[in-house]
A and B are shown apart, each in its own frame.
Chain A
Amino acid sequence: MSGTEGGQGSSEGESFDARLRAARERQGLEAPPGTSGRSDAGGLPTSALGIGLRVAVELVSALILGVAIGWGLDHWLHTAPVFIALFVLLGGAAGVLNVWRLMGPGQRPRDRGD
Chain B
Amino acid sequence: MAASGTIDALSQFKLHTVFGPIGASVNFTQANLFMVIAGVLTLALLWYGMRPRAMVPGRFQSAAEMAYQAVMSMCVDTIGPEGKKFFPFIFTLFFFILLGNLLGVWPYDFTFTSHIAVTLAMALFVIFLVTVVALRIHGLHFFSYFMPSGVPVALAPLLIPIEILSYLSRIISLSVRLFANMMAGHVMLDVFGAFVVMLGSAGLIGYFPAAFALAVNVALIGFEILVATLQAYVFAILTCIYLHDAVHLH
A contact set with B: CB distance below 8 Å: 1-2, 5, 12, 16, 23-24, 27-28, 31-32, 35, 41-45, 53-54, 57-58, 60-62, 64-66, 69, 87, 90-91, 93-95, 97-98, 101, 110-111, 113-114
Contacts and interface: CB of A to CB of B under 8 A. Distances in A.
A113 B248 contact: yes
- B55, B169, B230 pick with most chain A CB within 10 angstroms: B169
B70 A42 contact: no
Query: Which of B69, B73, B166, B230 has the largest number of chain A CB atoms within 10 A?
Result: B166
B77 A35 contact: yes
Interface stretch (B38-46, B188-196, B235-243): B235-243
Contacts of B69: 23-24, 27
Interface in B60-87: 69-70, 72-74, 76-78, 80
B135 interface: no
9 contacts: A1-B56, A27-B73, A32-B74, A41-B237, A42-B237, A45-B234, A57-B176, A62-B169, A98-B173
Interface of A is mostly: helix
Contacts, number: 97
Q: Which 7 A-B pairs have the closest CB atoms?
A: A61-B172, A62-B169, A94-B165, A61-B173, A94-B166, A28-B73, A42-B237
B73 A24 contact: yes
Interface residues of B, number: 34
A64 to B, nearest CB: 5
A44 B169 contact: no
